[in-house]
Structure 1
Amino acid sequence: MEPMKYLEELVIRYPVLASVKAEIKEAYEILENCYENGGKLLIAGNGGSCADAEHIVGELMKGFVKRRSVSQEFAQKLLEADPVRGKELADKLQGGLPAIALTGHPGLSTAFLNDVDGNLIYAQQTYGYGKKGDVLLGISTSGNSQNIMYAMAAARAIGMKTIGLTGRDGGQLKETADTAIVVPEKETFKIQELHLPVYHALCLMLEERFF
């Protein structure tokens, strides 16, 4: 299936998302360009959006709906690296699209919270991990989460592209991200219910493109 067919299918299944179809396509193109050029995706969110960040990593870093077998060349290198374990590695390892959720580093996060400023934890991680050509995806149902906004500023300074995934009126995130997907809902849980099919579609489109 062509990547864009997943987008068409998304809008058929969730007609309410037709209003953000163009923004989803723009987000996909930003991510496609990032991965084509050897970049990675950083993802930040709070609460349910924190869980979404981890969920996205799970879909990108291993097979989603496809088996992402390693190349024959890499399979041979694994056998050469370890004749005992190489075949099992070659059979079971899967291709990944580099993605890091800025949510699962409690040692760093609590140290920065205690020593510096909790609002800047995601900005610090963005500064530490990010490089020009990478992408930061900030997820905020209100569009006004301050720790996300600080991370967005750090990403722009580095030369990263930024994507916002939000709701309501888009808030500050809509005004600052390179592209913002503002799902047409007002209540937090309803916004989150629409975020999932959006990022699933993006992950499916990327998997189709690269695997």
Structure 2
Amino acid sequence: MSIAEYLDLSARILSESAAYAGCAQVDRAVEVLVDALSAGYPLLVCGNGGSASDAMHITGELVGRFLKERRALNCICLSSNPAVLTAWANDYAFETVFARQVEAYAKPGGVVIGISTSGNSKNVVTAFEAAKSCGMATIALTGEGGGSLAAIADILIDVPSRSTPIIQQVHICLYHYLCEQVEARLVATGAS
């Protein structure tokens, strides 16, 4: 595949994502995030590999700032503490490294965002199960169909592709939009 073909494919999936039914889910996600963060409830974000980097990116934008000056938001990346990840995975199971942290940081009214291109990452699924038992809302960013997360997520935002790198490219656009909208609404209402 040439660079022109790759960029054309990327542009096509972005365009399809804009017309996709998941856009209504993005608007729902903005509302849930604004409600939680304006009340000071935590946003916990997790993913593996490239999605772990995306989880760190989201929390960096919300703890720091995206485009506007505002107060820091209560946002924690569950992929970013190697001591917790390795201790728990070594002594128990990697499938529960995020669920254990949800248990530690959960507050009813908070939100967990799980990023998984397949939608089948077991540690993200168990994090959602833990979130449900703690009274937290769940938002999944996945590829087409949502995998196992589709059945458990309160809000499913699935990109209409099965190509991991293409899905990740669209995820960046989607979560930048989420950050922009959440920040703008919090600043406009004086909640931040």
TM-score (norm 2): 0.87
Match of 1:103? 79
Cα deviation for residue 14 of structure 1 reads 4.3
CA–CA distance in structure 2, aligned partners of residues 38 and 67 of structure 1? 17
Q: How does 1:62-211 map to 2 (within 5 A)?
A: 62-68=64-70, 95-211=71-187
Deviation at 1:21, TM superposition (A): 1.1
Aligned residue type for 1:159 = G
The structure with the largest alpha-carbon Rg is 1
Partner Cα distance (2:19, 2:47) in 1: 24
The CA RMSD over aligned residues, in Å, is 1.2
Cα drift, residue 115 of structure 1: 1.2
1:71-97 CA-to-partner distances (Å, cap 9, x unmatched) read xxxxxxxxxxxxxxxxxxxxxxxx211
Match of 1:162, SS? strand
Tell me, what secondary structure is at the counterpart of 1:148?
A: helix
Note closer, same or farther for the CA distance 1:43–1:186 as it changes in structure 2 (3 Å cut).
same
3-state SS of 1:136 partner: strand
Residue correspondences, number = 173
What is aligned with 2:18?
17
Which residue of the partner structure matches residue 81 of structure 1? Answer: none
State the match for 2:55 in structure 1. Answer: 53
* C-alpha contact 2:40 2:73 (8 A) present in aligned 1: no
- Structure 2 SS opposite 1:38: coil
Q: Deviations over 1:98-146 (max 9, x none)?
A: 1100011111111111111111000000001111111000000000100
* Percentage identity across paired residues of the two chains: 43
User: What is the CA–CA distance in structure 1 between the aligned matches of 2:80 and 2:69, rounded to whole Å?
Assistant: 26
What secondary structure is seen at the aligned counterpart in 1 of 2:31? helix
Instruction: Please list the CA deviations of residues 181-211 of structure 1 after superposition, one character each: whole Å capped at 9, or x if unmatched.
Output: 0111110001001000100000000110112
Classify the secondary structure of the residue corresponding to 1:181: strand
Instruction: Give every structure 1 segment of 4 or more consecutive aligned residues whose post-TM-superposition deviation is greater than 2 Å.
Output: 13-18
Cα distance per residue 1:150-197 (max 9 Å; x no partner): 111000000100000001221111111001001111100010010001
Structure 1: give runs of 5+ residues left out of the alignment: 1-12, 69-94
Q: In structure 2, how many angstroms separate the alpha carbons of the residues matched to 1:132 and 1:205?
A: 23
* DSSP-derived class of the 2:161 partner: coil
